[in-house]
Structure 1
Amino acid sequence: MSADTLAPAAPRYRWIILGIATFAQTASGFFVQGIGALGVQLQRDLDLSAAQLGLLLSAAQLAPLVGLVVAGELLDRFDERWVVGTGACVVAVALGAGSAAPGYVSLLLVLLIVGAGNSTAQPGGSKAVASWFEANRRGFAMGIRQAGLPLGGALAAASLPAVAGAFGWRATLVTGGLVALLGGVVFMRWYRPPPAGTAAGPTGTGGSIGSWLAARFGMLREPAMVRITLSGTSLISVQCGVLVLTVLHLHDTTSLSAGSAALVLVVAQAAGVVGRICLAAWSDRGTSGRQTSLTVCMAAVLVGMAALMTPLGQSPLTAVLLFVWLGFFGYGWYGPWVAQVAESAPPGRTGFAIGLAMSVNQIAIVVMPPTLGLLTDLTHGFDAAWGLLASMTAASLLVTARMGRVPRSP
């Protein structure tokens, strides 16, 4: 019996969906997640400054500002497997072509295209998981899926530098392209829609452009989406802070070696993997909606960042523990957050709602790393950066706490 016949009738198939959605996301973003680990080779072989290396990271994140919204709309109109699969093929082709890039500027253009193709995997996989899992398991499933991204980053960091050392940096693009292509093929081959009656149908194009824009972007005025975007942008900013500042803070403030500080960052990210699963599973058990777990995360990271600005942040042991704490809560919030977005979406617009919310987060992903770095450079310390993140989190916590509860759909 073929997979097409078997899938809709098999409740266990949801776990296959979860597996292929996680793999597709990990594979699509594999190369981008590993750029940081290739820094030494890229700087040496392309004669890059630190600023130019950072721009490579930003280039891969610019296109999703629009691409996530476009992908969300496509997901509401077409089968997820073709949207996600096509995006993965774009990533694969771009990286394959990029392996012949003559220089730095060409590589920047390649990464812009890679970012556009990668825009489909995140909302596409999230919508697929949301469609297949009921509310009392959706958070746990989302947590597992979202844990795939930091795991993919760890795999890329472990493998791509070795590939570059043996075959050169161009070979890493070919490797990343092949991995992305594999993820797309797996998703297109084995993804199937959920049983009839559980998936939202595609939306039409009726009405003028103005009415279309009002219907879609009007979501941002809804109380549920306001809470979602506030909590999301504040927590993704904290995540950026942990990624950018952990090693620098530990090295400059507590005198840990660069290698030891980098190891702490790995441990913090590992804590985030655990957090994404545990916090998402906990959100399934609550009766007050996903926002409760997000409120706990905001309060927890606020405490952690405030502590970093005290003498506790200057002690090697306590600073390490604080960064692990920030890793657990500062990364772990994403599973329940995506589940909340899916459950708050209007009927038939789940894909667009997920893409829109992620696109708002993407603004912080692009803006916050250079902002935090600039604050650190100008003040010759880290208190200003942690203070900015703490202020943003506190403001979001206060506003969301005063708004009504976001209900969880069945």
Structure 2
Amino acid sequence: MRAEKSTSGGGPTERAWRYRWVILGVATFTQAACGFFMQGIGAMGVHLQRDLSLSTTQLGLLLSASQLVPLIGLLVAGELLDRYDERWVVGIGAVVIAVSLGVGSATPGYVSLLLVLLVVGAGYSTIQPGGSKSVASWFDTSQRGLAMGIRQAGVPLGGVLSAAVLPALAAAAGWPVTLAAGGLVAFLGAVLFIGFSRRPPARRLPSREGAPRPGTRLGMLREPSMRRAVLSGMALVSVHSGLGVLTVVHLHEAASVEAGHAALVFVAVQAAGVAGRVGLAAWSDRSSSGRYTCVLACMVAVVVGAVALMTPLGHSPVAASLLFVWLGFFGIGWYGPWVAYLAEAAPPGKTGFAIGLAMAVNQSAIILAPPALGLLKDLTGAFATPWAALAVCTAAALAVTGREGRGPAARPRS
């Protein structure tokens, strides 16, 4: 993928390939900016429950609302990304997020917030696969895991910033103001991506003539590598969703942590996720047994953490906080090596659709997990039930995908 260096050490082609670090920075910022408001909903959980009189189930529905449209939108985005320049596909999606949040700030209320998040989800459908494809096309396999990890760190990075800013902003000015702030941040991400995104040297867009219809591509799900990616992704993304809806509430109710301090722990959880996405992805670049080994390790760590939260440790402020940071590192950090594995397993010329397809299947877990986990807690009155459900589902995915194999491991070390 990368061009060879010229004898002068700085030829035009090599200088062009150095631009990949600009692409990585812009893609990471756009990811963080577009997920800024959505990642902050969990941190604002106590404020939203108080101001809107919400149950834990209703709070979970807010997290699911922005993920409903991507169930189909990711497939559409993947097809568009294989046909058109990701610069415009991602840029327009970010503008949709910005405009919808701006409009939503003028119409406060639970129902209107749900509707706004549905539209936000339509725009967000382009951000994940578009940024991933852009980074994958600029970096060769020897650096792709690290690059993908840095880029995917944009999600928890946005969570760190939003968890630190949005609860204080909601307390001072009201939660509708947080929508306007989220819209402004997303618009900045759109401007930067459109302004700086470029295609790699000598890369041509795939011809649209004779391109297979989406329906003919669904057969990718029968491939062992795609099946492993989907099963592990559904389990681990449920854990990520569970952390978003349960962390602050668990600490506040079960461990008697003051709401403000619980929000700070959530910041630490997201920061651990940033470190995990970079560190685990860098490990996958050097793992002789393949990238999927890193994903398997994350599933083991998540099961251990979820089970520990069901013991008396989950009621200790210090121990529970440390366990949530552990879960943040592995339960959020898994995405870096996972998406690099997925990009390399995709058939040639179908990277955008393969990423979009796997992410679209994952959406079923993203949509169902928050309200289901909230409902389990509401029905039983205990946090042990949702953590047990996550541990069992992750252990099942670990058993199935670990038995099937670890997938392609050999990668050039250029």
Same fold (TM over 0.5): yes
1:181 shift after superposition: 1.8
Evaluate the alpha carbon distance shift between residue 11 and residue 390 of structure 1 in structure 2; reply closer, same or farther with a 3 A threshold.
same
Evaluate the alpha carbon distance shift between residue 185 and residue 274 of structure 1 in structure 2; reply closer, same or farther with a 3 A threshold.
same
List gaps (5 residues or longer) in structure 1.
none
After superposition, the C-alpha distances for 1:305-337 in whole angstroms (9 at most, x for unaligned) are 223333444444433332222121111101001
CA distance in 2, matches of 1:43, 1:152: 22
Trace 1:11-410 onto structure 2 (pairs within 5 A). 11-38=17-44, 47-50=52-55, 52-101=58-107, 104-161=110-167, 163-164=169-170, 169-197=175-203, 201-202=205-206, 204=208, 206=210, 212-408=213-409, 410=412
CA distance in 2, matches of 1:163, 1:268: 20
1:15 shift after superposition: 0.6
- Asked if structure 2 preserves the Cα contact closer than 8 Å seen for 1:8 and 1:192, the reply is no
1:25 shift after superposition: 1.2
> Matched residue of 1:357: which SS?
helix
- Asked if structure 2 preserves the Cα contact closer than 8 Å seen for 1:59 and 1:112, the reply is yes
1:258 shift after superposition: 3.9
CA distance in 1, matches of 2:171, 2:384: 38
Output the aligned Cα RMSD: 2.7
Amino acid in structure 2 at the alignment position of 1:401: G
Amino acid in structure 1 at the alignment position of 2:24: L
After superposition, the C-alpha distances for 1:17-45 in whole angstroms (9 at most, x for unaligned) are 00000111112222222344555766677
CA distance in 1, matches of 2:182, 2:254: 36
- Asked if structure 2 preserves the Cα contact closer than 8 Å seen for 1:164 and 1:171, the reply is yes
List gaps (5 residues or longer) in structure 2.
1-10
The alignment's TM-score, normalised by the length of structure 2, stands at 0.87
CA distance in 1, matches of 2:20, 2:28: 12
Amino acid in structure 1 at the alignment position of 2:357: L
Name the structure 1 match of 2:4.
Answer: none
Amino acid in structure 2 at the alignment position of 1:206: G
CA distance in 2, matches of 1:59, 1:185: 26
- Asked if structure 2 preserves the Cα contact closer than 8 Å seen for 1:205 and 1:212, the reply is no
Amino acid in structure 2 at the alignment position of 1:57: L
1:292 shift after superposition: 0.6
> Matched residue of 1:219: which SS?
helix
Evaluate the alpha carbon distance shift between residue 70 and residue 308 of structure 1 in structure 2; reply closer, same or farther with a 3 A threshold.
same
CA distance in 1, matches of 2:381, 2:139: 48
Amino acid in structure 2 at the alignment position of 1:379: T
- Asked if structure 1 preserves the Cα contact closer than 8 Å seen for 2:298 and 2:334, the reply is yes
1:218 shift after superposition: 0.7
- Asked if structure 2 preserves the Cα contact closer than 8 Å seen for 1:22 and 1:146, the reply is yes
CA distance in 1, matches of 2:253, 2:305: 18
CA distance in 2, matches of 1:245, 1:40: 11
1:167 shift after superposition: 5.5
1:377 shift after superposition: 2.5
Moved more, 272-281 or 32-41: 32-41
- Asked if structure 2 preserves the Cα contact closer than 8 Å seen for 1:9 and 1:195, the reply is no
1:101 shift after superposition: 2.9
1:114 shift after superposition: 1.5
Amino acid in structure 2 at the alignment position of 1:130: A
- Asked if structure 2 preserves the Cα contact closer than 8 Å seen for 1:8 and 1:193, the reply is no
Evaluate the alpha carbon distance shift between residue 162 and residue 266 of structure 1 in structure 2; reply closer, same or farther with a 3 A threshold.
closer
Identity of aligned residues (%): 65
Moved more, 237-246 or 362-371: 237-246
